[in-house]
Amino acid sequence: MSQQTKTTYAVDIVFCIDCTGSMQPYLESVKRSATEFHRLLEEKMAVKNKGIRQLRVRIIAFRDIGEEGEESIVATNFFSLPEEGTSFNTFVSKLTAGGGGDEPESALEALALAIQSPWERTMDKRRHIVVVCTDASAHPLGKFRLPARLSNLDLPSNMDDLNAMWGDEVDEGLMEFAAKRLLVFGPDKYPWSDLSELFENCIWVKSEAGQGMTDADQDLVLDQIAGSV
């Protein structure tokens, strides 16, 4: 099949990244791969005779609302790649690991924000992907409020409400069922060990504190994106 007849897709990806102290090796992995992400994904999709019509990436960096307050969650707009690659790389390069106190962290709040992202809904052939990266357990929902600057967004009070926001085949919630995928790099702790059972279209990969994203982990992210479109 020729290049002109490839099926092309609009791909939106939101990375929810734990930026507490033990995540420094992971952040270094992210920084190394950020400049190559668009090219690597294109190569993966080309193998499957697919192409990217539009690629947008968003970052939600989180720590612990109970410890960091207003500075605990930072969410960017979507960056269009490769057009806004310089701005994307600049933001990623400034991410640093620190703070957060002891476990747990505010990963579920970050996931709730990711689900409410302004996803592309007009183009044909869409894929919407949330990638959560943490080495810690998460606070149960309902314990904290969102920082004031994010208070216009909804925060579910429990896991059932979060699952309803994510949706399923019968009631797709806030995201399109056919388009969405959730990939979690998290430890064998609450709620990650249960999340793949509760959430449809979800894959959980165990992570360990103090370890970065390996080449195999990066391949898994790229394969899930390329293989699910």
Of 11-25, 33-47, 80-94, 159-173, the least confident? 33-47
pLDDT at 48: 83
Length of the chain: 229
Find the mean pLDDT for residues 197-216.
76
Confidence band of 182 (pLDDT split at 50, 70, 90): very high
Structurally, how many domains does the chain consist of?
Answer: 1
Tokens of 53: 């019509």
Residue 2 resides in a domain: no
pLDDT at 5: 66
d(C-alpha 17, C-alpha 59), whole Å: 7
Tokens of 112: 């709730």
Residue 203 resides in a domain: yes
Say yes or no to pLDDT of 214 above 70: no
Residue 155 resides in a domain: yes
Say yes or no to pLDDT of 3 above 50: no
Residue 112 resides in a domain: yes
Structural domain that includes position 74? 8-227
Residue 15 resides in a domain: yes
Tokens of 168: 């399923």
Residue 3 resides in a domain: no
**Looking up tokens 């806004």, which residue turns up?**
84
Tokens of 80: 């269009």
Under 8 Å CB-to-CB from 5, ≥6 apart: which residues?
Answer: none
Q: Kindly report each contact of residues 3-6 with a partner whose C-beta sits within 8 Å and lies 24 or more positions away, as own/partner.
A: 3/51, 6/46, 6/49, 6/50, 6/51
d(C-alpha 174, C-alpha 171), whole Å: 9
Identify the top-confidence range among 18-32, 36-50, 64-78. 64-78
pLDDT, tens digit (0-9, with 9 covering 90-100), for 81-136: 989 999 998 999 888 888 766 789 999 999 999 999 999 998 888 889 998 988 89
Residue 149 resides in a domain: yes
Under 8 Å CB-to-CB from 161, ≥6 apart: which residues?
Answer: 141
Assign 3-class secondary structure to 135-198: CCCECCCCCCCCCHHHCCCCCCCCHHHHHHHHCCCCCCCCCCCCCEEEEEEECCCCCHHHHHHH
Domain at 138, CATH number: 3.40.50.410
Residue 1 resides in a domain: no
pLDDT, tens digit (0-9, with 9 covering 90-100), for 127-173: 899 989 888 999 999 888 888 888 888 899 999 999 999 998 889 89
